[in-house]
Amino acid sequence: MMKPLLTLSRAIDWLNEQIGRTLMWLILAAVLVSASNATSRYLLDIASNAWLELQWYLFSAVFLLCAGYTLRHNEHIRIDVVNSHLSTRTQMWIDVFGLVFFLFPMAAIIMWLSWPIFVNAYVSGEVSTNAGGLIRWPARLMVPVGFFLLLLQGVSELIKRIAFLRGLIPNPLEKHVDPALEQLHVDEEAAQ
């Protein structure tokens, strides 16, 4: 039974990895938009609310759509003061409890409640109240999609925790090493 679930887990991990690696570039885009907007405002006395809102949309996309990526890499906020002193099995059981009773209900409720808000914004053609503002439905869509991706990654993490507790896989809480970063460190050490 666990083999197909671990295959599903790997597929979810792959999906969130691809989304995270792709959307990281939106941070650069947000910085460039912000710098261009500030430059045109102060040097040319030309300002646009659309550029400011685009910057917010880009940052929101990274924050919301990369939450699953963050969970996948175990980089979310934890209170390790207590957790780090517990056995690995106890940490896994705490994660299972947290995923099932906190993450899943929270993500499902936010998806459920945010979907009608997106639909309303899409159907009505909602536009920002700021002069020159952007349409709102893309930003509204990011909320349910982002929490769906987080929920999916939670399913993947739950599968991995259960597989570990059953002795089928190594500790999934160990830091994921990015092979590209690992190669970068090897190259740096070789250059020295």
What are 15-65's pLDDT values in tens digits? Answer: 999 999 999 999 999 999 999 988 988 888 887 888 889 999 999 999 999
- What backbone phi and psi angles, to 5 degrees, belong to 127? -125, 150
Q: Rounded mean pLDDT of 123-140?
A: 90
Once rounded to an integer, what is the mean pLDDT over residues 79-101? 89
Residue 105 has pLDDT above 80, yes or no: yes
Look at residue 185 and tell me whether its pLDDT is greater than 70: no
At 156, list the tokens.
């993947």
- Nearest-angstrom CA–CA distance, 23 and 163: 30
Q: Residue 107, CB half-sphere, CA atoms under 13 Å: how many?
A: 22
189 falls within a domain: no
Sign of the four-CA dihedral 108, 112, 114, 118? positive
Q: What percent of the chain has pLDDT over 90?
A: 66
The number of folded domains in the chain is: 1
Domain membership flag for residue 26? yes
Residue 110 lies in a domain: yes
Most confident of 4-8, 52-56, 109-113, 132-136: 109-113
In a domain, 188, yes or no: no
pLDDT on residue 17: 96
Residue 59 resides in a domain: yes
- Mean pLDDT of the region 126-151: 93
Evaluate whether residue 146 is within a structural domain. yes
Q: Does 152 map to a domain?
A: yes
Determine the pLDDT at residue 57.
Answer: 95
Confidence band, pLDDT 50/70/90 cuts, at residue 188: low
Residue 70 in contact with residue 21, Cβ under 8 Å? Answer: no
17 C-beta neighbours (distance < 10 Å), count: 17
At 189, is the pLDDT very low, low, confident or very high (cuts 50, 70, 90)? low
Structural domain boundaries, residue 86: 2-179
Query: How many other C-beta atoms are found inside a 10 Å radius of the C-beta of residue 119?
Result: 14
- Res 192: pLDDT: 63
Is 192 among the domain residues? no
Can you give the pLDDT at residue 178?
54
Please report where in the chains the tokens 């666990």 appear, as a residue: 2
